[in-house]
Structure 1
Amino acid sequence: MTSYLVDLAYIGIASVQEYLALHVILCLIPAFFLAGAIASLFSKESVLKFFGADAPKYVSYSVAAVSGCLLAVCSCTVLPLFAGIYKRGAGIGPATTFLFSAPAINILAIVYTAKILGYDLGVARAVIAILLSVVIGICMSFIYERNNGERKALKTFGEEKHAHTVWLFLLLLAILVTPEILPTWNPMLFVEIPLIAITVYVSLKWFDRDELESWMGETWFLVKQITPLLLIGVFFAGIIVELLPAEYVVEYVGGATAGSYVIASVAAALMYFSTLTEVPIISALTLLGMGKGPALSMLLAGPALSLPNMIVISRIMGVKKGLTYISLVVVIAAISGYAFGMYII
């Protein structure tokens, strides 16, 4: 028994070693710097102002659906932001659109999904999450939003932050995607090294010491918060591949039956996925035979829901509204996975 456990531990460690060799330098490090820049240098207030009373509904829903990639929030940090904009009068429609979309289109999550699970799933995750977040918000608004009193304008500040931030974002994004465009080392380094040098130069020129320290601090915070959990996820994903009979995966989430999508969606909603950890786990399940449709259902439901998350949401909105939101996420994630599965077959 002891030797068997030791063998499983070695399998998990081997998975971590393979992951570190393949994905850290060219994927995670640039992504962490990019997410840290977004979290520190983009003004959250200048985005959240669009949830206020002065903004038309089409603006509120549009900003709510895409702001997650600018705010760099995960499933944990989105909850206080959601509570803040909801309690301050944003309205349940735009607020729940933001609640669903923000963790789903986290820049780290989208990049990592595309790199590990394929660009079809990465793009589908981002695009469908944006579209479905609006559907969920409109449904919540239609069901519950009546004349709840005057919506308040959300107080904002810091709206005149550097226009240079957008250019920094594009430079960091170029560093991140270059290895995919130029996969061989010599051409890649020929482009990457000048890009890195330019990014360092303009960062020192455009931003003051406090802003640079904030950027590095946010980056380091993300590294400390995410990396240990991510490596634990990779470790157990390697063990899952060894332990879980492939025929079970194929039977329950490997086919194109409606049940496989519902099972994938409900299972993801009940599990707790820290930021990015859903990707190696789902990757392990796909190796065992899980279809891409159920995988997308898990990618949509997993970041949006977990048992702790459901409790907090129900406390903020009330049990009835919370259960409605949770049901909408599970059902729509299952339907989206089914549609995607039919499309790629």
Structure 2
Amino acid sequence: MTSYLVDLAYVGIASLQEYLALHVLLCLIPAFFLAGAIASLFSKESVLKYFGADAPKYVSYTVAAVSGCLLAVCSCTVLPLFAGIYKRGAGIGPATTFLFSAPAINILAIVYTAKILGYDLGVARAVIAILLSVFIGIMMAFIYEKYNGERKSIKTFGEEKHAHTVWLFLLLLAILVTPEILPTWNPMLFVEIPLILITIYVSLKWFSKDELESWMTETWFLVKQITPLLLIGVFFAGIMVELLPAEYVVKYVGGNTFMSYIIASVAAALMYFSTLTEVPIISALTLLGMGKGPALSMLLAGPALSLPNMIVISRIMGVQKGLTYISLVVVIATISGYVFGTYLI
């Protein structure tokens, strides 16, 4: 028994070694700096003010659908933000659009999904999450908005950040995608090193000491918060591949039956995925035979829902609205995965 557990531990360590060799230096480190810059240098107030009654609906829904990229929130931090904008006067439509899309299009999650599971799933996750978040918000508004009373303006505080943040974002994004465009070492380093040096130079020139400290602090916070859980997820995902019979995965989520998409969506909604850990777990399941369609269903439902998340959402919105939102997420994740798996791949 002891030797068997030791063998499993070696399997998990081997999975970690492969992951660290392939992904950390060229993928996660630039992504952490990018997410840290977004979280610290973009003004959250400048985004959240568009959820109030003063903003046209098309503006509210558009900002709500894409603000996950700008706010760099995870499934944990989205809940207090959602509670704040909902209680401060945002309509239930834009608020639930934000609630669904923000963790789903977290810049770290999209980059990591594309890197590990393929660009087809990475792009599909981002695009479909944005579109479906708007649909969910519109449905929630159609069902409940007439009972909400008059919406209020949202008061926000804090000054706007300067426009240099956008250029920094583009430089960091270029550093992130260069290894994918130029996969061989010599051409990649020829482009990557100058990009890094330019980024360091303009960061020191454009931003104050306090802003740079805030950026590094936010980046380090993300590293501390995410990396241990991510490494644990990779370790146990490697063990899961060893233990879980492939025939069960193929039987329940490997085919193109509608039931396989329902199982994938419901299972993801009930599980708790810490930020990014859904990716190595779903990657392990795909190695065992899970189809890309059910994988997308899990990627859409998993970050948006979990048992603790459902409880908090129901307390904020009320049980009826909470159950409606939860049902919409599961149904739409199921249908989206089915359409993707049946018609788009």
CA deviation after TM superposition for structure 1 residue 151, in Å: 1.6
| 1:19-42 Cα deviation digits (max 9, x unpaired) | 011100000000000000000000
- State the distance in 2 between where 1:308 and 1:48 align: 25
- State the distance in 1 between where 2:249 and 2:269 align: 18
- Unaligned regions of 5+ residues in structure 1, if any? none
| 1:114-148 Cα deviation digits (max 9, x unpaired) | 00000000000000000000010011111111153
| 1:290-332 Cα deviation digits (max 9, x unpaired) | 0000000000000000000000000000011001100000000
Give SS of 1:67's match: helix
| 1:58-78 Cα deviation digits (max 9, x unpaired) | 110110000000000000000
CA deviation after TM superposition for structure 1 residue 168, in Å: 0.1
- State the distance in 2 between where 1:3 and 1:23 align: 30
| 1:265-291 Cα deviation digits (max 9, x unpaired) | 000000000000000000000000000
CA deviation after TM superposition for structure 1 residue 199, in Å: 0.2
- State the distance in 2 between where 1:316 and 1:76 align: 15
| 1:201-249 Cα deviation digits (max 9, x unpaired) | 0000000010000000000000000000000000000001000111110
Identity of aligned residues (%): 92
- State the distance in 1 between where 2:302 and 2:336 align: 14
Size of the aligned set, in residue pairs, is: 345
- State the distance in 2 between where 1:329 and 1:147 align: 22
Residue in structure 1 matched with residue 21 of structure 2 by the alignment: 21
- Unaligned regions of 5+ residues in structure 2, if any? none
Residue in structure 2 matched with residue 270 of structure 1 by the alignment: 270
CA deviation after TM superposition for structure 1 residue 112, in Å: 0.2
- State the distance in 2 between where 1:231 and 1:220 align: 16
Structure 1 197/245 Cα, relative in aligned 2: closer, same or farther at 3 Å? same
What TM-score, normalized to structure 2?
0.99
CA deviation after TM superposition for structure 1 residue 161, in Å: 1.1
CA deviation after TM superposition for structure 1 residue 158, in Å: 3.3
- State the distance in 1 between where 2:328 and 2:149 align: 26
CA deviation after TM superposition for structure 1 residue 343, in Å: 2.0
Does residue 8 in structure 1 map to residue 23 in structure 2? no
- State the distance in 1 between where 2:211 and 2:56 align: 33
- State the distance in 2 between where 1:97 and 1:159 align: 25
**Structure 1 stretches of 4+ moved >3 Å:** none
CA deviation after TM superposition for structure 1 residue 154, in Å: 1.2
- State the distance in 2 between where 1:21 and 1:153 align: 50
